[in-house]
């Protein structure tokens, strides 16, 4: 059994594999490390190219496109390692990128998962939207990061180079103990894509396990490689899955109040899209809420299990304020300007 399995989920991503897989193989090379490409039934030449050019890479062929969440779940059923890295196909790794991650988790058994620092592949001095230097959550379920609040992405000047407990680690480069991944149920396949890593991390944190960002390891992420940020399908998945995540994980005493406020805020979001002339985006928000209400009963068992296994309702990295209010009314555009609790 390998100590680490780096698992790259692919779907029709030949161009990304050609660009980024060579460095993953080169900079992960070790007797203790396996590099695996899990293919979601691609119709391009991804598998043929991997087989012809990287015989040392293990290729797991799935029978259909299971999406991001279940694609990884299916792939990891065929992996045996102490640690796995869920690595997006559009991530450029750097020399020795795995060493700080494995060394920290080896020394800290209470830590279930971690992430490296994520910088933009397109603008390499800046953080990347999806993860930056570690993720947090506000009281109404809005995610933000050290280095990124909504659309304001900071330049990396070393301001977040300390190892930091976080609420969620990005799915673009999620380093996690495989045993714990399986014990907590992995990614929720019903999400298909988007928010599934935050949902998983909420389960980890509520069950008393820690997650950290280790900025001594840096990778570069293209981002929006599957769906562009403004794509109506992505808007739909983000809003629907965020509501599902809240329903599955919120403490009972918060559920009604938070869901009421989110109903108001989602209505405002749809109206803003409409006023900007983005009718499809507005429709996506409303459709997300409609579908959430329809499928919510299917998640009652998941909610009951999560509440039963919760050891503490208070998670310091889920802040007790509205990041929307801080951002728009308080003009807090960078993480370092927020209250000191999570610095």
pLDDT tens for residues 28-43?
Answer: 999 999 999 999 999 9
User: In this structure, are residues 20 and 50 in contact, taking their beta carbons and an 8 Å threshold?
Assistant: no
For 166-184, b/e burial (b = at least 16 CB within 10 A) is: bbbbbbbbbbbbbebbeeb
Flag whether pLDDT at 60 surpasses 70: yes
The answer regarding whether domain 2-221 maps to CATH 1.10.3720.10 reads: no
Flag whether pLDDT at 165 surpasses 90: yes
Instruction: Please tell me the pTM assigned to this model.
Output: 0.95
pLDDT at residue 117, rounded to an integer: 98
Identify the burial level of 49 via C-beta atoms within 10 angstroms of its C-beta, where 0-12 means exposed, 13-18 middle and 19 or more buried.
middle
User: In this structure, are residues 123 and 222 in contact, taking their beta carbons and an 8 Å threshold?
Assistant: no
pLDDT at residue 340, rounded to an integer: 72
* 250-256: long-range contacts, CB 8 A cutoff, minimum separation 24: 251/307, 251/310, 251/313, 252/307, 253/313, 254/139
User: In this structure, are residues 234 and 228 in contact, taking their beta carbons and an 8 Å threshold?
Assistant: yes
User: In this structure, are residues 248 and 149 in contact, taking their beta carbons and an 8 Å threshold?
Assistant: no
Flag whether pLDDT at 105 surpasses 90: yes
pLDDT at residue 238, rounded to an integer: 95
Flag whether pLDDT at 150 surpasses 50: yes
Query: What's the pLDDT band for 193 if we cut at 50, 70, 90?
Result: confident
Q: Render pLDDT for 112-143 as a digit per residue (tens, 0 to 9).
A: 999 999 999 999 999 999 999 999 999 999 99
Q: Render pLDDT for 5-29 as a digit per residue (tens, 0 to 9).
A: 999 999 999 999 999 999 999 999 9
Q: Give the residues across from 116 on adjacent strands.
A: 214
Q: Closest Cα to residue 170, out of 141, 231, 213? A: 213
pLDDT at residue 122, rounded to an integer: 94
The tokens describing 41, both together, are 């039934």
Delimit the domains of the chain by residue range.
Answer: 2-221, 232-312
The tokens describing 143, both together, are 């995610």
Percent of the chain exceeding pLDDT 90 equals 94
Query: What's the pLDDT band for 342 if we cut at 50, 70, 90?
Result: very low
Round the average pLDDT of the chain to a whole number and report it. 95
pLDDT at residue 227, rounded to an integer: 45
What are the start-end ranges of the H helices in 121-195?
178-183
Flag whether pLDDT at 341 surpasses 60: no
d(CA 160, CA 171): 19
d(CA 89, CA 67): 14
pLDDT at residue 224, rounded to an integer: 62
Query: What's the pLDDT band for 294 if we cut at 50, 70, 90?
Result: very high
Flag whether pLDDT at 229 surpasses 60: no
d(CA 14, CA 88): 13
User: Rounded to 5 degrees, what are φ and ψ at 122?
Assistant: -85, -30
| Mean pLDDT value of segment 156-171 | 97
Identify the burial level of 130 via C-beta atoms within 10 angstroms of its C-beta, where 0-12 means exposed, 13-18 middle and 19 or more buried.
buried
Residues, the chain: 343
| Mean pLDDT value of segment 305-328 | 95
């Amino acid at each position: 059994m390998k100590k680490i399995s780096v698992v790259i989920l692919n779907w029709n991503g030949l161009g990304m594999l050609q660009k980024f897989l060579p460095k993953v193989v080169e900079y992960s090379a070790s007797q203790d490390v396996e590099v695996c490409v899990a293919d979601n039934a691609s119709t391009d030449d991804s598998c043929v190219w991997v087989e012809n050019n990287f015989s040392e890479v293990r290729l797991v062929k799935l029978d259909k496109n299971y999406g991001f969440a279940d694609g990884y779940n299916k792939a990891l059923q065929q992996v045996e390692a102490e640690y796995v890295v869920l690595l997006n196909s559009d991530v450029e790794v750097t020399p020795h990128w795995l060493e700080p991650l494995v060394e920290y988790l080896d020394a800290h058994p209470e830590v279930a998962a971690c992430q490296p620092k994520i910088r933009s592949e397109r603008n390499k001095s800046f953080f990347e939207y999806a993860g930056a230097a570690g993720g947090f959550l506000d009281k109404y379920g809005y995610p933000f990061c050290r280095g990124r609040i909504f659309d304001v992405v900071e330049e990396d000047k070393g301001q977040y180079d300390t190892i930091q407990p976080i609420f969620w680690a990005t799915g673009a480069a999620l380093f996690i103990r495989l045993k714990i991944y399986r014990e907590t149920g992995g990614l929720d396949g019903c999400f298909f894509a988007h928010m599934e890593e935050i949902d998983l991390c909420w389960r980890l944190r509520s069950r008393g396990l820690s997650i950290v960002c280790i900025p001594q390891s840096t990778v570069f992420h293209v981002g929006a490689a599957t769906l562009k940020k403004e794509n109506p399908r992505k808007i739909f998945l983000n809003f629907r899955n965020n509501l599902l995540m809240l329903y599955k994980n919120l403490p009972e005493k918060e559920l009604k109040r938070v869901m009421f406020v989110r109903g108001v805020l989602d209505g405002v979001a749809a109206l803003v899209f409409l006023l900007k002339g983005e009718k499809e985006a507005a429709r996506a928000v409303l459709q997300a809420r409609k579908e959430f209400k329809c499928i919510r009963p299917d998640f009652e068992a998941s909610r009951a299990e999560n509440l039963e296994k919760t050891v503490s309702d208070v998670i310091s990295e889920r802040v007790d304020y509205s990041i929307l209010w801080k951002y728009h009314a308080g003009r807090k555009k960078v993480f370092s300007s927020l209250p000191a609790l999570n610095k």
